Amino acid sequence: MTSSDPSVQLDHTPGHIKHDGHNLTGFVIFLCSESIIFLAFFAGFSLFKLTSPEWLPAGVDGLEVRMPLINTIVLVSSSFVAYFAERYLHKGNLWGFRIVWFITMLMGAYFVYGQYVEWSNLKFGLDSGVFGGTFYLLTGFHGLHVITGIGLMGLMLFHSFRPGNYEKGDMGVTSVSLFWHFVDVIWIILFFLIYVWQRY
């Protein structure tokens, strides 16, 4: 095989950037590691829920589910929207990507707003026993991830206006949308633990 063979040259087209693959590998490793923190918090929450003698603080008889449910639906569907944005990018439709990507960001922002409304209507605080502590720790830590995700998506949107940015690969977008799916899956587990489990 000589170097003029087209199949050899394929590896050296501008789309092939050596370090992109590393970024995605590193990011996946990071996500696996990050999920352990959530796992630790989930384990703590479950243990407290099962063993704590006084679970709900005085004057609180549970959490309202309607608002978080709407929030869940918005966040879960935003994951699909992010997937479509990615598809547009792969097809080379840059404006399609930008618009749909921005819709994903808006849905994320709505989730954060919903979380804010829920927090401001609650009758217990961080120091209201182990229930208050775990509730705010879990939702707050997850909320931080949502805000980080929105920030990262904004960064990717900004990058898309740089001429020729995505011609050499779109690992940044792939990583961020992976992060978004991760945040989404964490929320689903969290929703079942905090809101659904309280009924049983």
Partner 1 sequence: MTSTNFDPRILKAPHPVPGAPDNWKRFFSINTDAKVIGIQYIATSLLFLLVGGLLAMIVRGELITPEADLVDPTVYNGLYTMHGTVMLFLFLFPVLNGLNNLLIPTMIGAPDMAFPKLNAAAFWLVPVFAVLLMASFFVPGGPAQAGWWSYPPVSIQNPLGHFFNGQMLWLLAVALSGISSIFGAINFVTTIIRMRAPGMGFFKMPLYCWTAWGAQTIQLIGLPALTGGAIMLLFDLSFGTSFFKPEGGGDPVLYQHFFWFYSHPAVYVMVLPVFGIFSEVFTCYSRKPLFGYKFVALASFGIVFLSLIVWVHHMFYTGTPNWMRILFMFTTMTIAVPTGVKVFAWVATLWRGKLRLTTPMLFCLGGLVNFIFAGITGVMLGTVPIDIHVGNTYFVVAHFHYVIFNAIVLGVFAAVYHWFPKFTGHMYYEGLGKLHFALTFIGCTLNWLPLHWAGLLGMPRRVASYDPEFAIWNVIASVGAFLLGVAAIPFILNMVSSWARGPKAPPNPWGAIGLEWLLPSPPPAENFEDDVPTVLNNPYGYGLDQPQVADEAFYVRRAQEA
Residues that bind partner 1 (CB under 8 A): 19, 21-23, 25-26, 29-30, 32-37, 39-41, 44, 47-48, 51-55, 126-127, 129-134, 137
Nearest CA among 165, 4, 33 for reference residue 89: 165
Q: Tokens 């990050």 identify what position?
A: 34
Nearest CA among 173, 122, 181 for reference residue 152: 173
Q: CB 175 → partner 1: shortest distance, Å?
A: 13
Q: How far apart are CA 48 and CA 45, in angstroms?
A: 5
* Amino acid identity at 80: F
Q: CB 161 → partner 1: shortest distance, Å?
A: 24
Q: How far apart are CA 26 and CA 97, in angstroms?
A: 25
Tokens of 54: 């006084």
Q: Given the complex with partner 1, which of 8 and 32 has the nearer CB atom?
A: 32
Q: Given the complex with partner 1, which of 46 and 77 has the nearer CB atom?
A: 46
Q: CB 189 → partner 1: shortest distance, Å?
A: 15
Q: CB 42 → partner 1: shortest distance, Å?
A: 10
